[in-house]
Amino acid sequence: HTTSSTQKLTNNYKEEINIISELNEDTPLVLDTNILLRLYCIPLNRKKQLIKFFQEKKNQLFLSHQVKKEFLRHRLKVMQEFLPWVYQDLYPFLKQPVSLEIKRFLDKPNQKQGDKILKQLKFQEELMQELIQNDEVFELIENCELLPQFTDQEYNFLNTEFSFLSQHEKKIMFPGKGDIGIKQKNQLGDYLIFHEMLKFMKEENKPIVFFTVDTSKGDWLDKQKKPHTHYLEKTLNATNNYLVIVDGTRWLEKKFKTHLDPFPLLSEQKLSANTNILTTNLFVIHSAFGKGVIKSIYDNQGKQMVCVDFEKFGEKHLLKDFCKLQIFSTLSNFTLINQHYGSLF
Judging by beta carbons within 10 Å of its beta carbon (0-12, 13-18, 19+), is residue 315 exposed, middle or buried? exposed
**Residue 177 DSSP symbol:** G
- List strands edge to edge, sheet with 145-146: 145-146, 61-63, 29-31, 208-212, 243-247
pLDDT at residue 145, rounded to an integer: 92
Assign residue 296 a region (left: φ > 0; alpha: ψ between -120 and 50; beta: otherwise).
Answer: beta
pLDDT at residue 249, rounded to an integer: 83
Q: Which residue has the higher pLDDT, 98 or 340?
A: 98
Query: Is the predicted pLDDT of residue 217 greater than 50, yes or no?
Result: yes
pLDDT at residue 118, rounded to an integer: 83
Q: Coil, strand or helix: which one is 163?
A: helix
Task: Report the distance separating Cα 255 and Cα 234, nearest Å.
Answer: 30
- List strands edge to edge, sheet with 325-328: 325-328, 303-310, 290-300, 282-286, 334-340
**Residue 220 DSSP symbol:** S
Model confidence band, residue 6 (pLDDT cutoffs 50, 70, 90): low
Query: Is the predicted pLDDT of residue 78 greater than 80, yes or no?
Result: yes
Long-range contacts of 325-329 (CB under 8 A, 24+ apart): 325/99, 325/102, 325/289, 326/81, 326/265, 326/266, 326/295, 327/99, 327/265, 327/266, 327/289, 328/264, 328/265, 328/266, 328/267, 328/268, 328/269, 329/269, 329/286
Q: Coil, strand or helix: which one is 106?
A: helix
Could you tell me whether strands 303-310 and 325-328 are parallel, antiparallel, or unpaired per DSSP bridges? Answer: antiparallel
Query: Per DSSP, which regions of 225-311 are E strands?
Result: 243-247, 282-286, 290-300, 303-310
CA dihedral 268→274→279→285, nearest 10 degrees, is -70
Tens digits of residue pLDDT in 312-326: 443 333 344 444 445
Task: Report the distance separating Cα 16 and Cα 22, nearest Å.
Answer: 10
Name, in order, each residue with C-beta under 8 angstroms of 194's C-beta and a sequence gap of 6 or more: 175, 176
pLDDT at residue 340, rounded to an integer: 32
Task: Report the distance separating Cα 104 and Cα 98, nearest Å.
Answer: 10
Query: Phi and psi for 298 in degrees, rounded to 5?
Result: -150, 170
Model confidence band, residue 24 (pLDDT cutoffs 50, 70, 90): confident
Tens digits of residue pLDDT in 236-275: 889 988 888 888 888 888 888 877 777 655 333 223 333 4
Query: Is the predicted pLDDT of residue 127 greater than 80, yes or no?
Result: yes
Tens digits of residue pLDDT in 301-314: 555 566 777 654 43
Query: Is the predicted pLDDT of residue 22 greater than 80, yes or no?
Result: no
What does the mean pLDDT of the chain come to?
Answer: 75
**Residue 208 DSSP symbol:** E
Q: Coil, strand or helix: which one is 299?
A: strand
pLDDT at residue 167, rounded to an integer: 83
pLDDT at residue 146, rounded to an integer: 95
Q: Of 10-19, 29-38, 331-340, which has the strongest mean pLDDT?
A: 29-38
Model confidence band, residue 88 (pLDDT cutoffs 50, 70, 90): confident
